[in-house]
Chains A and B, each alone.
Chain A
Amino acid sequence: MGNFLLLLQNENMKIYRRIRTWVMLGLIVAIPALFAVLVKVSVTDDPGAWDMFSNITIIYMLVSVFASVIFADIVASEFGWGTIKLLLIRPWKRSKILLSKLLAGILFSLISTILFLAVDFILSFALFHGRSVNEYPADYTAFSYAMEQMLYQYVDLLVICVIAFMLSTLFRSSGISIGLSIFILFARNIFQALLNPELYPWAKYVLFTNMDLSQYMMGGGQAGMTMGFSITMLAVYVLVFLAISWVVFMKRDVAA
């Protein structure tokens, strides 16, 4: 059988040969830089490098948005362009074509996360030399705390992206899937605030309540939730979303 890596190469070509992708990567560099420069010129006392690092990390939201757009678009755009008809008549099972798209999306999320981290580090340590005032929980250094935060944020991004991926296969329309994904990205904080597991016992099984793993960094969670519980819940949700994507993509008749 053919070489699966070539499928991945194809998907990458379709991501990185688009100007859009480079605009996104450019913004991932430019917006933190703009933010850092503004802080530098407007504040008289330099904050510490690690304090600045965690401030800039708030902009990681941007990476989540861009990665969601890539995932929400990656299947739907083929339907939108009509190229799906030429893509699915190759000697490849649909399951493998979908897998190549998922992996290409994950690769983009990794690249943009690493780029963001590098920019964050360089800006924080090149421009800011003040005294750090942030305090960290026991057992953490500034570095390990920041890295663990980042890891949880990446997990959060991946879950959103898997939802976007599912919407992309379900709706076959880039507009709807991108719109819905971004909506979920922003609205989930509201759900998280409303659905307090202390008040509603069932709320701890809701996806949004479990997405922020950093809630366990300061000790136990609400209503007896633990890190292990949340990871299990996330895994179950992700598997269900992927299963739906696969079943729908493999069964669907490509008409019109």
Chain B
Amino acid sequence: MTSQEPVVRMINVTKKIGSKTLIDKLNLEIPPGRVFGFLGPNGAGKTTTIRMMVGLMSISEGDIYIGQSSVKTDFEGAMRQIGAIVENPEMYKFLTGYQNLLHYARMTPGITRARIDEAVARVGLTNRIHEKVKTYSLGMRQRLGVAQAILHRPKLLVLDEPTNGLDPQGIRELRDYLQELAHQEGTTVFVSSHLLSEMELMCDTVAVIKQGRLVDVKDLRGSAEAGRRETAFEVDKPLEAAALAGSGTIDGSKLIVAVDREETADLNARLAAGGIRVYSITVLTRSLEDQFFEMTGRGGGQIG
């Protein structure tokens, strides 16, 4: 993680409705310039947390800071730094795409017409922007939603389930675009989803929440590069191979050991020299899905 000042600080954030606690003392810091995923099963409190961040829901206890501004006490200051799409980007269908953007542009100081055109070009809607939104496809509405969210060049872009209803091409474009925003323009992107594979491709870091509690924060990019990974060697004599390697477990005809890149090659040479035939070497990556189920418990859970 970077040592820079976090863009979002959630401090003991709690949401209670009646006697029910939806979010329970959530503490989370989001570092700048990353695509930060927010993962959890349905009903875990993802949307509730996001709605509290953007002021659509009140915070029962605790506070959320966007930069230096508290959402509770300096709402206007906090909101000036946020661009968001909460669930589907609902637009005024009787207005054109451009009029919709103009509407939101008027609500934040300092957005010029040139900036609106730039945002429109950015999401590739230039040719259709002066048509009524009711003629737009879902994918085009999603693009318009992104355009309204980035109009004021927010420090933080919050997206709630952004891939819902998008076709594979749309998902891919959105993913590339978010990565670009985060890594080139330094915007922090906070994105919630329950689509694990999607999050794995899109995010640098994920926070996992379950029943209103933070379970874990995982760095996806870092762990993929460095360190030893579980590697399976498929051999003809696994027992002898294990003896040669000096460690590892045996799974059928496979010897599974934790090694890094160089050690893989070394071990392979030693096995070959020891007269053991190696048929295949496979790095066993545990998918985010496996990790997710490890953290949240597999199936059968009750909706929080």
Contact A7 B56 (CB under 8 A): no
> Which residues of the other chain, B, contact A2 by a CB distance below 8 angstroms?
106-109
Contact A17 B55 (CB under 8 A): no
Q: Whose C-beta in chain B lies nearest to the C-beta of A85? A: B86
Determine whether B296 belongs to the interface, using a CB cutoff of 8 Å to chain A: no
Contact A89 B79 (CB under 8 A): yes
Contact B56 A83 (CB under 8 A): no
> Which residues of the other chain, B, contact A17 by a CB distance below 8 angstroms?
94-95, 99
> Which residues of the other chain, B, contact A133 by a CB distance below 8 angstroms?
none
CB contact between B107 and one of A10, A83, A251 (< 8 Å): that residue: A10
Interface string of B89-126 (1 = CB under 8 A from A): 11111110001001110111100000000000000000
A122 to chain B minimum Cβ distance, whole angstroms, is 31
Q: A70-94: which have CB < 8 Å to B?
A: 81-83, 85-86, 88-93
> Which residues of the other chain, B, contact A40 by a CB distance below 8 angstroms?
none
A104 to chain B minimum Cβ distance, whole angstroms, is 13
Residue of B51, B82, B84, B148 ringed by the most chain A CB atoms within 10 A: B51
Contact B90 A251 (CB under 8 A): no
Determine whether A13 belongs to the interface, using a CB cutoff of 8 Å to chain B: yes
- For B, the interface residue count at a CB cutoff of 8 angstroms equals 34
Determine whether A45 belongs to the interface, using a CB cutoff of 8 Å to chain B: no
> Which residues of the other chain, B, contact A85 by a CB distance below 8 angstroms?
56, 86-87, 90
Q: Give CA–CA (A17, B102) in the complex, Å.
A: 13
> Which residues of the other chain, B, contact A253 by a CB distance below 8 angstroms?
17, 51, 56-58
CB contact between B90 and one of A86, A89, A92 (< 8 Å): that residue: A86
Contact B106 A83 (CB under 8 A): no
Evaluate whether A254 and B107 lie within 8 angstroms (CB atoms) in the complex, with A82-B90, A88-B56 already known: no
Query: Could you say which interface size class chain A belongs to?
Result: 20 to 34
> Which residues of the other chain, B, contact A91 by a CB distance below 8 angstroms?
75-77, 79-80, 107-108
Contact B99 A92 (CB under 8 A): no
> Which residues of the other chain, A, contact B58 by a CB distance below 8 angstroms?
251, 253
> Which residues of the other chain, A, contact B104 by a CB distance below 8 angstroms?
86, 90
Determine whether A6 belongs to the interface, using a CB cutoff of 8 Å to chain B: yes
> DSSP class of A's interface residues: helix, strand, loop or mixed?
loop
B289 to chain A minimum Cβ distance, whole angstroms, is 28
CB contact between A18 and one of B17, B88, B94, B107 (< 8 Å): that residue: B94
Determine whether B54 belongs to the interface, using a CB cutoff of 8 Å to chain A: yes
Q: Whose C-beta in chain A lies nearest to the C-beta of B74? A: A91
Determine whether A255 belongs to the interface, using a CB cutoff of 8 Å to chain B: yes
Q: Whose C-beta in chain B lies nearest to the C-beta of A251? A: B58
Contact B148 A89 (CB under 8 A): no
Determine whether A1 belongs to the interface, using a CB cutoff of 8 Å to chain B: yes
Contact B55 A14 (CB under 8 A): no
Q: Whose C-beta in chain A lies nearest to the C-beta of B96? A: A17
Q: Whose C-beta in chain A lies nearest to the C-beta of B48? A: A255
Q: Whose C-beta in chain B lies nearest to the C-beta of A80? A: B90
Contact A90 B94 (CB under 8 A): no
Evaluate whether A255 and B80 lie within 8 angstroms (CB atoms) in the complex, with A81-B92, A82-B88, A86-B89 already known: no
Q: Whose C-beta in chain A lies nearest to the C-beta of B158? A: A89
> Which residues of the other chain, A, contact B54 by a CB distance below 8 angstroms?
89
Q: Give CA–CA (A83, B89) in the complex, Å.
A: 8
Evaluate whether A9 and B51 lie within 8 angstroms (CB atoms) in the complex, with A1-B76, A255-B57 already known: no
Q: Give CA–CA (A39, B276) in the complex, Å.
A: 110
> Which residues of the other chain, B, contact A3 by a CB distance below 8 angstroms?
109
Q: Give CA–CA (A88, B71) in the complex, Å.
A: 13
> Which residues of the other chain, B, contact A10 by a CB distance below 8 angstroms?
103, 106-107
> Which residues of the other chain, A, contact B99 by a CB distance below 8 angstroms?
13, 17
A14 to chain B minimum Cβ distance, whole angstroms, is 6
Contact B90 A81 (CB under 8 A): yes
A43 to chain B minimum Cβ distance, whole angstroms, is 42
> Which residues of the other chain, B, contact A82 by a CB distance below 8 angstroms?
87-88, 90
Q: Give CA–CA (A90, B93) in the complex, Å.
A: 20
Contact B106 A86 (CB under 8 A): no
> Which residues of the other chain, B, contact A255 by a CB distance below 8 angstroms?
51, 56-57
> Which residues of the other chain, A, contact B56 by a CB distance below 8 angstroms?
85, 88-89, 253-255
Residue of A18, A89, A90, A254 ringed by the most chain B CB atoms within 10 A: A89
> Which residues of the other chain, A, contact B76 by a CB distance below 8 angstroms?
1, 91-93
Contact B90 A83 (CB under 8 A): yes
Interface string of A242-255 (1 = CB under 8 A from B): 00000000010111
20 contacts between A and B (CB under 8 A): A1-B76, A1-B109, A10-B103, A10-B106, A10-B107, A13-B95, A18-B94, A82-B87, A83-B90, A85-B87, A86-B86, A86-B90, A86-B148, A91-B75, A91-B76, A92-B107, A93-B76, A253-B56, A254-B51, A254-B56
Which 3 pairs from chain A and chain B are nearest by CB?
Answer: A82-B90, A90-B107, A254-B56
Binding site for A on B (CB under 8 A): 17, 51, 54-58, 75-77, 79-80, 82, 84-95, 99, 102-104, 106-109, 148
* Extra A-B contacts (12), CB below 8 Å, given A10-B106, A83-B90, A90-B104: A13-B99, A14-B92, A17-B94, A81-B90, A82-B90, A85-B56, A88-B56, A89-B82, A92-B107, A251-B58, A253-B51, A254-B56
